[in-house]
Chains A and B, each alone.
Chain A
Amino acid sequence: MNFTEDNVREVAALARLKFDDKKIASMAEQMDKIVGYVQLIQDAPVDDLEPFIYPTELTNVLREDIPQESLATVDVLANCHKADEHFFYVPPVIE
């Protein structure tokens, strides 16, 4: 097995997902197939190669520090589950 039900529980906790026992079993089965398939890359002859992260060369883009218009608070809060005039409402962080 490349991917067990315990693997599902561990990774789901990292990913902030929560599955019942039935879903854990089906997820383990599917992930086992997928992880089994991606093992293919282990055979590739890449010891001397550098990782390829982006297709283009990324360079720092610098600009003068000039104030510019940003998103309006009212627009940003408009998609929130619950908000008041200035703040997002979230469940208690410290109990």
Chain B
Amino acid sequence: MNLINLTAQEIKTKVLNLEISPLDIVEQFLNNIEQKDKTIGAFAHIDREYAEICANDLEIRLKKGEKPALAGIPIAIKDNISRKGYLTTCCSLSLKDYKGVYDATVVSKLREAGAIIVGTTNMDEFAMGSSCENSALHPTKNPWDLNYSPGGSSGGSAACVAGGLVPLSLGSDTGGSIRQPASLCGVLGLKPSYGRVSRYGLVAFASSLDQIGSFARNYQDLNLLTEVISGYDKKDSTSVQKDLNLNFDKDKTITVGIPEEYFSDGLNTDVRIKVEEALDYLTKNANVKTIPISLPSLKYAIATYYVIATAEASSNLGRYDGMHYGTRFDGENLTDSFCQSRTNGFGDEVQRRIMLGSYVLSSGYYDAYYVKALKVRRLIANDFQDAFTKCDVIIGPTSPIAGLKLNEDVDDPMSKFLLDIYTVSANLVGLPGLSVPCGFGDKNHPIGLQIIGNSFDEACILELARRFENAGHNNKIAEIA
């Protein structure tokens, strides 16, 4: 039986009916991954041994009559999520041999749910980037067009789902790092509300913005994984005691706010057309009412994001000094060893962001940049608060472009920053955001529709994904030679 193109739900059903064994799944999926990933490079580390451990554990539980929620479903996790005893490198030279000392809470939950973790996925180093080209390992290619990037920073997690290597994966999203690659790879990608999913064991980039979330090829699979990973965790002081309830009134009219700022200059024509078609579909077929809204502070969002994210990153990455863990490069003395380890261990993008973060936090600039950005963050939050008095969700494009060519604008750091224009606000405010596929552009590159919900209202955005299902954009798998 060929299992590769099945949905996560279908695999689970077959496993629980004992039609297939967990070890059969490991055999088929790992063989397929080992062969096809040579072409796209979605994985940082393929872990057959770990997958077999997961499968053997599940086999024992199935014999006891247990029916775990993700039974036998192969899943890949981003290389910044800790697993005890296994490589967690953030695709950085500074952590190239680092093995997790404990399991992240999401890993514990996946294991408890009977998932089979097949390896870790490629990413921009420390999740800093939008193209996966900042990985110290290798770039990942978009399975729909090998000359193009899958996006980033969770590019590997998006590419392996789009290419049919796994039905589900986990990523992390600090400024769009789940939604943007989901959009560019034609899959669904959900950044839950800040606090919804425990970040214990997620290597920190920007702690007030980071959130773990899921990739899938259809909304049912996405819901399944989201339900498993959500929930309060006493090990993460920012996780919130609110139960996830995805039940939503299927007859309710959903009011969608369309921000004029999301459709202004700079939006690719293909993207505009597909997003407008999707809105037209929703209005005609999905009991949706649209209203125009305005988010006037959007123009400050990227600048605000880059001040706050880099300030937090410069502090979080202070721990990589080569002393307690990580790669050490010896210098002339202690301080010089710190400098050598960090300069040789971090790539250019990470160094630039540490420099900006250190600058905006330094004496004389702290108020002018960091505190000012925190106040602008309030302004942006107020815009969203106002908008959600008029609508249930906000819809626009996920990314302003339909394809991101590999090796383009590598010397211009600003060019990739600007690709985050539609995604960073949800992180600044802590809102849930979902990218769902809404078609392909003229050059056959996928395009994503972004649905931003009110805080902790994942149910509404996932209901819209359900209502959009019949538009016919789910479950697309790119052929990989």
Q: Which A positions have Cβ atoms within 8 angstroms of B?
A: 3, 7-8, 10-12, 14-19, 27, 30-31, 33-35, 37-46, 49-56, 58, 61, 63, 71, 75-76, 78-81, 88, 90-93, 95
Q: Judge whether B372 and A90 touch: CB under 8 Å.
A: no
Q: Judge whether B98 and A56 touch: CB under 8 Å.
A: no
Q: Let me know if B303 is at the binding interface, CB within 8 A.
A: yes
Contacts of B368 in A (CB 8 A): 42
Output the least CB separation between B324 and chain A (Å). 6
Taking a contact as CB atoms closer than 8 A, the residue among A11, A35, A92 that contacts B333 in the complex is A92
Q: Judge whether A55 and B429 touch: CB under 8 Å.
A: yes
Q: Judge whether B334 and A88 touch: CB under 8 Å.
A: no
User: What residue in chain A is nearest B355 (Cβ atoms)?
Assistant: A11
Taking a contact as CB atoms closer than 8 A, the residue among B323, B335, B343, B372 that contacts A81 in the complex is B323
Q: A11-B362, A16-B335, A56-B240 are in contact. Are A41 and B372 (CB under 8 A)?
A: yes
Q: Judge whether A40 and B299 touch: CB under 8 Å.
A: yes
Taking a contact as CB atoms closer than 8 A, the residue among A8, A16, A30 that contacts B342 in the complex is A16
- Cα distance A3–B365 when bound, in Å? 12
Q: Let me know if B339 is at the binding interface, CB within 8 A.
A: yes
Q: Judge whether A11 and B358 touch: CB under 8 Å.
A: yes
Q: A38-B306, A79-B98 are in contact. Are A49 and B340 (CB under 8 A)?
A: no
User: What residue in chain B is nearest A60 (Cβ atoms)?
Assistant: B237
Q: Judge whether B358 and A14 touch: CB under 8 Å.
A: yes
Q: A45-B379, A50-B375, A55-B429 are in contact. Are A15 and B195 (CB under 8 A)?
A: no
What are 5 A-B pairs with beta-carbon distances under 8 A? A11-B359, A35-B359, A37-B306, A88-B323, A91-B337
Q: Judge whether A38 and B339 touch: CB under 8 Å.
A: no
Q: Is the interface on chain B under 10, 10 to 19, 20 to 34, or 35 or more residues?
A: 35 or more
- Cα distance A17–B352 when bound, in Å? 10
- Cα distance A92–B323 when bound, in Å? 12
User: What residue in chain A is nearest B101 (Cβ atoms)?
Assistant: A75
Q: Judge whether A91 and B339 touch: CB under 8 Å.
A: no
Q: Judge whether A76 and B101 touch: CB under 8 Å.
A: yes
DSSP majority for the A interface? loop
Contacts of B162 in A (CB 8 A): none
Q: Judge whether B378 and A50 touch: CB under 8 Å.
A: yes
User: What residue in chain B is nearest A89 (Cβ atoms)?
Assistant: B323
Contacts of B371 in A (CB 8 A): 51
Q: A51-B378, A56-B430, A81-B323 are in contact. Are A34 and B339 (CB under 8 A)?
A: no
Q: Judge whether A16 and B376 touch: CB under 8 Å.
A: no
Output the least CB separation between B205 and chain A (Å). 15
Q: Let me know if B326 is at the binding interface, CB within 8 A.
A: yes
Q: Judge whether A44 and B300 touch: CB under 8 Å.
A: yes
Output the least CB separation between B165 and chain A (Å). 29
Q: Judge whether B307 and A38 touch: CB under 8 Å.
A: yes
Output the least CB separation between B362 and chain A (Å). 6
Q: Judge whether B238 and A56 touch: CB under 8 Å.
A: yes
Taking a contact as CB atoms closer than 8 A, the residue among A33, A49, A75 that contacts B375 in the complex is A49
